[in-house]
Structure 1
C-alpha cells in the first residue's frame, strides 16, 4: 500500500503533541525555545528579503511589501502562541498578575530561582546586574507582545516612512543580521563600502575599540551612564565598578549598542555619523568630523538606519547605502 502523506503528517502531529505533554518545560526552557523560534523567524525574514531584492525597483518594492506582510503575519502568530504557552505556566499579561509574572520571568531569565523561600541576605552586585539586564529583556519581551496586538504594523509604517525619506536621496537599506552586533556590523559594512573592499576593522574589533575608548575617557561617559544605570539605593562608590562591567560586556558579549557606543565610535573612527529613522528625527553625531570639500574614503560619512520596530523585536540598526550598490 502506498504511503499516505496526510496520514503521516497527522500521525506526526499526534506524536509531537504527546511528547509535548509528557515533557513539561520549565519556564527557563520555554523562554530559551521562544528566543530560538524568534531567531529562526529573523533568519527566514533575512532570506526572504534577500530573495525579494531582484528585478526592477517596482518589482522589488512590491515583493518587499509582501515579505513585510507575511513576516508580520508569522510574527503575530508566533507571539500569540508563545503568549498562550506562557499563560499555561501561569505567566499571563493580565493587569492583576502582570507585575508579579514579569518579576518571575525576570528572575528566570537572570538565572535566579523563582520558588518561594525565606528572604536571605542582601543580593550580591552580580545578581543585581543580572536581574537588571533580565528586567530589560523581560520588559522588551512584554513590549513585543503588546505591539503584536496592534492591527496596523508599526514596522510597516516605519519602513514606509524611512523608504520615503531615503529614496529621493538615492539611498536604500542594506539589511544587517539582527544578532546583538547589528550596530557594529552596520558600521563594518559602511567602512567596507568606503574602502571599496573589506573593512579595516571587524565588528569585534570595533567593539574592543569602543570599550577601550570609553575606559580612557570615562569622565565623558559616566554622567550619561549614571543617568541610565544608577540603581535605587546603590552607593555611588560602585559606579566605577559597574561602568567597567559595562565596558567588559561591550567587548566580550553581544550586548546591543546605543547612543553611548555611537558617541565612542564617532571619535574612535573620527567619522561623521548620520542615523536615519522612520520613527524619530534623524540624528547626526561627530559633526566636527564632517568633511567639506575633501574626497576619498576618510572623508565619507557613516550612514545608518535606526529601526524602532525591526523584526518585531525593538531596536535595530542597518547600513544605508547608495541605491546603485544594491
Structure 2
C-alpha cells in the first residue's frame, strides 16, 4: 500500500509540474501585438475609387473551413474541437472559394482564416484563397496565435495561427491592424483570440478616403464587459474618421444581434443563447446606418450540428456605414451553413 501511495504521489507531482511548465510556457510565448501594426498589401492595384458609382463588398466568416453543417464546437457546448478531416477541410475551402468566385464584388472581407492550425490540419487557407482570387489585392492580419490550446482533453484544439483577410480591387494607400481593448483574465486569455480589425485606407477620386474596416468582435466574455469596451473604441474611431470627411464602411462578424433584425422570425427549437448580446442603442454614431439582411440568418448555434428548424439562428454579420455612404442594397446568401457556421452578406453602396 505504501509503495502504491508513493507511486501515486510521484505521478501527482509530475502532473503538477507539467501543468506549471505549460502555463509558464504559454505565458512567456503569449502573443502580445502592439495596439497598431502596419500591414503589407500584396498585389496592390492602381485603380482609384470613383465617387457616385455603385460599389460592393462581401463579408464572410469562413469558420476555419471546419465548422460545416455536420460539426459542433466545444466552446459553445458541443464536443468538436477540429474539422472532421483534412479532406473535409479542403472540401469546405473549395466550396467557399467557388462561392466567392461566383460573386461580382469589389471587396471581400473574411474572418477566421487559418494559415497554420491543428484544427484545420495545417492547411494554409489564405494562400489557397489568393491563388484563386488573383484579381484582388490582399491583406492578412493575425488575431489568434496560440502554441497549444489543451482542451478538450480527449482531442485538444491544439496550435492555432489564424486571422482576418481583406481583398480588394482598388488601390490601398495604407493598411493597419488595430487591436481592440479588453482582455480576459489570466490564464483564460492565453487560449483566446486577440480581437482586432484591419483598417484599409483607400484614396477616392474626390481627394477623400474610404476607410474600410474588417472587424471580428468578442463572443464569450460573461457580462459583456469586454464587448462594451470594444464597441466604445470602435464608435470613437469611426466617429473621428467621419469627422475628417472620410467615408467609413465597417464589415464583419459583430457577434451581436444587429439592430433592425429579429431572430424570432427564424424557426428554431432552441432558446436565445447566452453568448448572443444586442448592440446597445447608444453605440451607433448619429447618421450612421446598418446594412444587414433581416430575412436571412448569418449565424447558427454550434452546440449541436446544423439541423433546419432546431439551431438558434441570428443575424450577426453585416455592415455599418457613415452618413456620406448610400446603401443601395443588402443581400444575405442562404447557404444553409454547408461549409461554415456563418452565411455571407453582400452590401452595395455609393460614396456620395
Is this a same-fold pair by TM over 0.5? no
Q: Which has the higher contact order (CA 8 A, sep 6+)?
A: 2
The higher radius of gyration belongs to 1
* Between structures 1 and 2, the one with greater strand share: 2
Choose between structure 1 and 2: higher helix proportion.
1
User: How high is the TM-score relative to the length of structure 1?
Assistant: 0.28
